[in-house]
Every structure is written in structure tokens, then in C-alpha cells.
Amino acid sequence: MKKKHTIIILTIIISILLTGCWDKIEINNRGFVIGLGIDKLKEDEKNKEGDKIKVSFKIPNVALLGTKQTPTKEPSFYWEAEGETFDTVINEIQSKSPFDLELSHNKVIIIGRDILKDKALFKQILDGVDRNRFFSRKIFMLVSKEKASDIIKIRPNEQPLVGVYYGNILDSAVKNGTVIDGTLNKLMKEMEETETTILPLTTKTYNNKRIEIIGGSIIKDYEIREELNETECRFLNMIIKNNYNIMNIHVDYKNVPVSYKITSTKSETKVSEKDNKLLLDIYVDTEGDVTQHEFGVKGLIANDKGIRDIEKLSEEKIKENINSLINKLKKNSLDVINVENILYKYHQPLYKKINEDFDQYFKNMEVKVHVESKIRRIGIVR
């Protein structure tokens, strides 16, 4: 009996050791898609009837990593194709490419702004991306002022692969609150819940040799409705999340310019009803340092009164910017500050009362901004 068990165990071990990779593909034959762009085709750009979109991406030349001599010294290869659906285009490129495409390493999807002017097309693309099993839910989604393919083609001096370049920027910038969080997971969640979201807005700069994130595009009902600049996006982040090293606030104190660097923020948003109107209370606490005023000016803030005066001036400037942002959002009823979500989670009776006419309630909403700023350090004092 023991002999029989020994034979069975040995057979299993030998089977495991002799098992190979049935679908092995050499790394040089893999095409790792790192950054991907999607554009709407104009009529004169269509190669055949039914074409709607163009998909473009770059594949790194992995051969450069392993050998001293390679067929080409190009750091990446550019590919694009047209088709009716996202999956159709990927299959079209796969049929013509010498690489086996690998989408699971992709870091960003850049959407051309023209797509966001076509509600039906945008919904189709979202569905295609959402159903693709290779894309991580943490992948970054961005909107480009130009064609997405123009962004993909750029080769920044610091990093030849656009996807890696964006990934490096966004990982820390989203955490700090300097840019909008535009992950696929956040996009799909907000579009399903309220059909309103905001994605980072990007463009080409420095003679088309660099790319930058310059603000955010607000999407409502699957169409682009408004754009926020970089500063407005930072104040939006100040309202909806906790942040670090988010920005500098510049104020004038006794005719001397003073810079208050915000190193951390905490916020809370409360919604209630007052006189048959929504009342939004926004509470923001900031901490930071005085990083600069003017050389040769002594004793300006080296006392409790000076510090408190700077804190008050900073608080007023933050309030002013937040109120300006909220007024811009109220004008077109763009709820990217999660008012509807707060009502749904914590005030069900009020939510049911105003749900069908939420846009009008949002436009007429009363807003009160409460800010408290604390200066923790004033630098070296001589």
C-alpha cells in the first residue's frame, strides 16, 4: 500500500516538474501598450464606411533592454488604426502588428475632446473600455485639448513613453491634490450614480515637446459641459478630499507680499434644507508654512499678531476662490462636489423630495464657506 502511494506521489511531482508554458511568448514579441489615445474620426478621415474612432498607442522597444545590438534604436513604436468599436480597432492592429499586444500594463487612456461632444459615441467607448478585462480599474483617464493621437506621438525629453510620463506625474499629483483624480474606477462609479464627473485636462506645451495637465473637463450626461483651470481644480480638491502640499496662497500684509504654503488640508461638507432651499456648508481646515515675504523686512510675522493676521488674510482668499468655483458650478448645475451623493447617503427624505428637480435646487443652493488656517512654521528668523 505504501509503495502504491509513493508511486502516485512521485507521478504527481514528475508531472508538475515536466509541465511547460503552453502559451509562452518571448518578451521581444510582446507589445506592451503603455499609453493609449482614442479620437473621433471626421468624415474626411474615414477609410471605410462605418469607421467612427481612431485608436493610437506606443509600444516600448523592449529589445533595447536586453542586447547590445538591436534592429533599431527607436525607444518606441507608434501604431494607430480606425474602426467602428474599440475592440474592433484593437483586433485590427493586432492582425497587422508583429507584436502580441499586451494591454494589462497600460497606464493611461487619453480621450480626444471631440468625443465628449458626441454623447452616443462616448457611451459606446466607455462600454468598450469597461468590458475590456485587461484594463486595471486604477488606470488614469484624461481629456486632451488636441487630438489624443497628437499627444501619444509626443516624445518628452524626460521620458520617451507618454504613458509612463503621465503615470509618474499623476501618481503623486493626485495624492497631493494638485490635479483631479481621473481613474477609470472613479469615472464609471460617478457616471453610474450621478452622470456627472470631472477628468484631468491635458495639452501639448513647449513647442510640442512636452505635455502638461492644465485643469479639468466636467462631464455631465455624457457630454462635456465646462472646463476648470489648474487653480480651480486645486480648490475643488480642497473641498472634496484631504490633500498635501496642494498650493501656495499669496497675500499682501502691510504692503509686503507673503506666501503661505499649504502643506495639508482637511474638509467636510454638510447639506441641509433652509426655507425650501438647499444649504451647503463647506468646512476647510488648512495647515502650512510661511515660505517667503521680503528680504530686509524684520519682525513682520515674528509675533502672534502678525501670524494671526496672515492666517485671516489666507482664510479670506481661500473663501473667495471657493465661492467663485461654487458659483461657476451652480450656474450650469454641475455637481462635482458630491451634494447629491451626500443627500442620497445621509438625508433620504430630503433626497426623495428634491431628486426629480435636483438641478434647479443645486442652482439656487445657498453656500457658506468656513475656513480655518494655521501657520505652523515661519522659516529661519535672523
Mean pLDDT of 351-359: 95
More confident residue, 74 or 82: 82
pLDDT at 299 over 90: no
pLDDT at 103: 87
CB 197 within 8 Å of CB 336: yes
pLDDT at 136 over 80: yes
Max avg pLDDT among 44-48, 85-89, 207-211, 218-222: 218-222
Mean pLDDT of 24-53: 82
pLDDT at 38 over 50: yes
pTM: 0.86
Mean pLDDT of 232-257: 92
Helix (H, G, I), strand (E, B) or coil at 71: coil
- pLDDT classification of 151: cutoffs 50, 70, 90: very high
CB atoms within 10 A of CB 289: 16
Helix (H, G, I), strand (E, B) or coil at 119: helix
Mean pLDDT of 143-149: 95
- For the ranges 106-115, 118-127, 300-309, 311-320, which has the lowest average pLDDT? 300-309
Task: Please give the C-alpha separations between residue 60 and each of 36, 70, 105, 106, in angstroms, as whole numbers.
Answer: 13, 13, 11, 11
pLDDT at 148: 95
- pLDDT classification of 76: cutoffs 50, 70, 90: confident
CB 211 within 8 Å of CB 166: yes
C-alpha span between 54 and 39 (Å, rounded): 5
- For the ranges 11-15, 79-83, 126-130, which has the lowest average pLDDT? 11-15
pLDDT at 22 over 60: no
Mean pLDDT of 50-55: 93
pLDDT at 71: 55
C-alpha span between 50 and 10 (Å, rounded): 59
- What is 242-382's CATH superfamily? Nutrient germinant receptor protein C, domain 3 (3.30.300.210)
pLDDT at 21 over 70: no
Mean pLDDT of 371-376: 95
More confident residue, 5 or 232: 232
pLDDT, one tens digit per residue, over 157-204 is 777 778 888 888 888 899 889 999 999 999 999 999 999 999 999 998
More confident residue, 299 or 370: 370
- pLDDT classification of 329: cutoffs 50, 70, 90: very high
- For the ranges 134-143, 186-195, 263-272, 289-298, which has the lowest average pLDDT? 289-298
Task: Dump the DSSP string for 194-229.
Answer: TSEEEEEEEEEETTTTEEEEEEEEEEETTEEEEEEE
Return the residue matching grid coordinates 504527481. 12
pLDDT at 20 over 60: no
Q: What is the dihedral of CA 77, 82, 86, 89, to 10 degrees?
A: -60
Q: What mean pLDDT is reported for the chain? A: 87
pLDDT at 63 over 80: no
Task: Please give the C-alpha separations between residue 1 and each of 6, 8, 132, 380, in angstroms, as whole numbers.
Answer: 9, 11, 51, 83
pLDDT at 360: 96
C-alpha span between 328 and 319 (Å, rounded): 14
Mean pLDDT of 259-274: 95
Domain ranges of the chain: 25-238, 242-382
